[in-house]
Amino acid sequence: MQEVRVRFAPSPTGPLHIGGVRTALYNYLFARKNGGKMILRIEDTDQTRFVPGAEQYIVESLDWCGIKFDESDYVGGSFGPYKQSNRKHLYKQYSDELLEKGHAYIAFDTPEELEKYRKEAEANKQTFIYNCQSRNNLRNSLTMSKQEVEMLIANGTPYTVRFMIPENREIVMHDLIRGEVHVQSNTLDDKVLFKSDGMPTYHLANIVDDHLMKISHVIRGEEWLPSMALHVMLYEAFGWEAPQFAHLPLLLKPDGNGKLSKRDGDRLGFPVFPLFWTDPKTGETASGYKQSGYYPEAFINMLALLGWNPGTEQEIFNMEELTEAFSLDRCSKSGAKFNVEKTKWFNHEWLMRKPEVEVGHDYQQWLKDEKNIDTNLDFAIKVAGLVKDRVNFVKEIWEQSFFFFEAPTSYDEVTVKKRWKENSAQTMRDVAEVIRNIEDFNLANIDATLNNWIEVNGLGMGLVMNSLRLMLVGAGKGPHIGEIIEMLGKEEVLRRIESGIKALG
């Protein structure tokens, strides 16, 4: 069997959309599953769309996701260079080869002329297609004499090389996800392969490089499905064996049917990029999953299931499990709707599975950075462990645990109304005495002593505990009260009860 070689081939025109990350992920999983190679190729032939910093952004994003490459300009490989602008010298011979074989022709039509034809067609409610319907009436090497063409070129007249789409052909292709795909050649454009600036277009460079890099499977987004017929015909024209194709379904907005865009993210408050991004020209920024507090494991897990399903009920997968379970025939044809809540849920699930020391460490750091609070790792681990089942992100732990770090300065009104009764102050004075007398101040002792005291004195459990919680937390929430008491320590607990009684009377 042919060696599996796949590539992720982004154009550095801006930050990498999460749809692009998913394409990279599926390529990576497919390569690993089949013992193949994963290649990173930077497709930067369109110099007008080049954005500084975008390539670095792409590389850092994929690295954060844990998507690794076997070959690239960064890790090396024997098919390099892997950036198309550094392969510039390679492409012209292939464009010449197609000209010689009669599969391509030279066209002199200027952008202004083409625009004029487009407008004229539009006015007649038609679309202008540069192909068998029109090419014999346009300014190209099919309609001009050889001398005329040579003279224009010698004079430095700008020209492009166009692929000659065969007339009246039914192109039948196979897509690994979509099955048989049919295209009628007369609906296709004679696409430009080589531009007047001396650079190949995406189509030529992409095919030439896939061939030279011995790519076996082209796995890419649905937006490239309309180019598949052209690509297949290019392989045919060169006499090369075409790779197998798989076109992945679109990622759709959470509400409605369009493609998921940055605007949807802004509107509904979620990132559509893996990392934070600042546009170098406009200074405009975009949020990223990493900086929003997502774990890469959760991000990848969520993306993997947008357009693929394992055929079982399992939802939580790490990269090894994904590799094991992945196959292209379980990818869907129809678009996958992005789900913000589900995305958060994945982060929650991964937070629950993280080693407690990692979560504790992250929370310790968060406290330092956001609240300027210094705390020791053990304490941070313990706090995080007590409340993590109620949060989706490390940054949300504070909301559930602030009372471990600061005494209440106010008392939640609704809780006071509900829980603070006439005799509560006296009960709290009594409970303070009980707590003061606990010698071995550990959870088991605290729980046993309080329970026993409540029982012996015939006091309601809820009544005492809820008031006590109000004293310690300032609200009606928080983990088990005994844990709070133990972690705050005797002195702090007594201080808070005293202040609470003073405040509520």
Least Å from the CB of residue 96 to ligand GLU: 23
Q: State the Cα angle at 98 between 225 and 135, rounded to 5°.
A: 75
Least Å from the CB of residue 268 to ligand GLU: 25
Least Å from the CB of residue 326 to ligand GLU: 18
Alpha helices in 354-479 (DSSP H): 356-366, 377-387, 397-401, 413-419, 424-436, 443-456, 461-473
Rule CB under 6 A: say whether 4 interacts with ligand GLU.
no
| Helices and strands: H and E segment counts in the chain | 20, 13
Which of residues 43 and 264 has its CB atom nearest to ligand GLU in the complex? 43
Least Å from the CB of residue 11 to ligand GLU: 4
Which of residues 11 and 347 has its CB atom nearest to ligand GLU in the complex? 11
CA distance 332 to 250: 10
Give the one residue of 10, 265, 296, 408 binding ligand GLU; rule: CB under 6 A. Answer: 10
Stretch 174-203 residues interacting with ligand GLU (CB under 6 A)? 202
Rule CB under 6 A: say whether 206 interacts with ligand GLU.
yes
Neighbouring-strand partners of residue 336: 251
**Site of tokens 């406009």:** 282
262 among known catalytic residues: yes
Give the one residue of 224, 235, 238, 393 binding ligand GLU; rule: CB under 6 A. Answer: 224
Give the one residue of 4, 6, 9, 454 binding ligand GLU; rule: CB under 6 A. Answer: 9
Rule CB under 6 A: say whether 11 interacts with ligand GLU.
yes
H/E segment holding residue 193? strand 192-194
Which of residues 95 and 206 has its CB atom nearest to ligand GLU in the complex? 206
Those residues with Cβ within 8 angstroms of residue 121's Cβ, 6 or more apart along the chain or in another chain: 127, 128
Rule CB under 6 A: say whether 220 interacts with ligand GLU.
yes
Which of residues 230 and 488 has its CB atom nearest to ligand GLU in the complex? 230
Which of 262, 337, 342, 490 is catalytic? The answer is 262
CA distance 21 to 434: 59
Least Å from the CB of residue 184 to ligand GLU: 22
Is the separation of the CB atoms in 397 and 384 below 8 Å? yes
Contact window for ligand GLU (CB under 6 A) among 3-11, 60-68, 111-119, 459-467: 3-11
Is the peptide bond preceding residue 81 cis, with omega within 30 degrees of 0? yes
CA distance 18 to 260: 9
CA distance 137 to 184: 22
For 22, other C-beta atoms within 10 Å of its C-beta total 23
Rule CB under 6 A: say whether 6 interacts with ligand GLU.
no
CA distance 36 to 30: 8
**Token code pair at residue 338:** 């992005």
Q: Return the C-alpha torsion angle 163, 165, 166, 167, nearest 10.
A: -140
Q: State the Cα angle at 99 between 93 and 103, rounded to 5°.
A: 120
Which of residues 274 and 478 has its CB atom nearest to ligand GLU in the complex? 274
Rule CB under 6 A: say whether 235 interacts with ligand GLU.
no
Is the separation of the CB atoms in 46 and 202 below 8 Å? yes
Using CB under 6 A as the binding criterion, the count of chain residues that bind ligand GLU stands at 8
Least Å from the CB of residue 249 to ligand GLU: 15
Rule CB under 6 A: say whether 297 interacts with ligand GLU.
no
Least Å from the CB of residue 23 to ligand GLU: 7
Least Å from the CB of residue 211 to ligand GLU: 13
Rule CB under 6 A: say whether 393 interacts with ligand GLU.
no
Contact window for ligand GLU (CB under 6 A) among 6-14, 178-186, 288-296, 300-308: 6-14
CA distance 158 to 195: 9
Rule CB under 6 A: say whether 43 interacts with ligand GLU.
yes
Contact window for ligand GLU (CB under 6 A) among 8-16, 56-64, 478-486, 497-505: 8-16
Is the separation of the CB atoms in 141 and 105 below 8 Å? yes
Residues lying near ligand GLU in the complex (CB under 6 A): 9-11, 43, 202, 206, 220, 224
List active site positions.
262
